Chains A and B, each alone.
Chain A
Amino acid sequence: MNGPAFLSLISGIVFGAGLVVSGMADPKRVRDFLDITGAFDPTLAFVMGGAVTVMAIAWRVQNRMSSPLATEKFDLPKISPVDRRLILGASIFGIGWGIAGLCPGPALAGLVIVPDKAIIFVTAMVIGMGLYRFIDTRFSENNARKEMR
């Protein structure tokens, strides 16, 4: 295992541990945050607050760096405008997140907490990702064909 992969593993471990410590590995806590008409549980806001605070500092540091500490160059999403795909995708994601109280990180952590249920969700999630990949590939092939005509 090389240096960057080792650092990435450490980062994943801290991330997974953070999900458990924060209580966000429990879908009920997440749904209680989303349930604004019921017993509202504000914990998720504190989790986001803590994570965003640290990351805001990290972005400032990144701004002054010409390359990452352990790899050759930054591989970051470009700043691009809001489009229909983003809004539609976030909406579909939001429905799923609301239904079960699970998003990808906590679901992966769930594999070692409630394995029998988490594996069902994770399998469906991977199929959903594959379905997107399939449609996206078809769509871009069709577009390429149209342009060639």
Chain B
Amino acid sequence: MPLQGFLGGIMIGVAAAIMLVAIGKIAGVSGLLAQTLALTPSKSFNVIATSFILGIPLGALLAQYFCGPVNSFYPSSFITLIVAGLLVGFGSRLGSGCTSGHGVCGLSRLSLRSLSATCVFMSVAMATVAVMKHSGLSQ
């Protein structure tokens, strides 16, 4: 699996590189999603952000068409999905980015803010998984 991981990672990097070099924007999914839904100070319809956001499920569909269906195990509990979604949405906006913006685009730019954010969300997420596991909180 590491090989597929690396290959998929290169594709994600190429996608982010197109956004940077051709369009001049950061491929940060949380920011672009917020712009698509007009949840940022700029009120005008953002066609670039919207195209990128629509492209993600489209690309996932194409990849499944060509490579076959993939496994995807989601948490079974409705409450888990709701709570996690709220935290991810709120936190990514307050922290100005998520795994793509800080983790991929920011780290490679050697941004101190992105390095800090990535270290924080990685370690907090690891701690969260450990606490859930050992307190018997299943999904």
Q: A residues engaging B (CB < 8 A)?
A: 1-2, 4-28, 31, 34-38, 41-59, 61-62, 65, 67-71, 73-77, 79-82, 85-105, 107-114, 117-118, 120-133, 136
Contact = CB atoms under 8 A, between A and B. Distances in A.
Given A14-B11, A70-B22, A113 B59 contact: no
A111 B93 contact: no
Interface of B: 1-27, 29-30, 33-34, 37, 39-40, 47-64, 67, 69-75, 78, 80-96, 98-100, 102-105, 107-109, 111-113, 116-118, 120-130, 132-134, 139
A26 B91 contact: no
Nearest to A43: B5
Contact of B22 (A19, A48, A50, A68): A68
Given A62-B21, A103-B99, A16 B58 contact: yes
Contact of B60 (A19, A42, A132): A19
Majority SS at the chain A contact face: helix
B129 to A, nearest CB: 4
Given A14-B59, A93-B98, A108-B33, A23 B1 contact: yes
Given A56-B108, A100-B75, A110-B72, A8 B52 contact: yes
Q: Which of B5, B18, B75 has the most CB of A within 10 A?
A: B5
B23 A26 contact: no
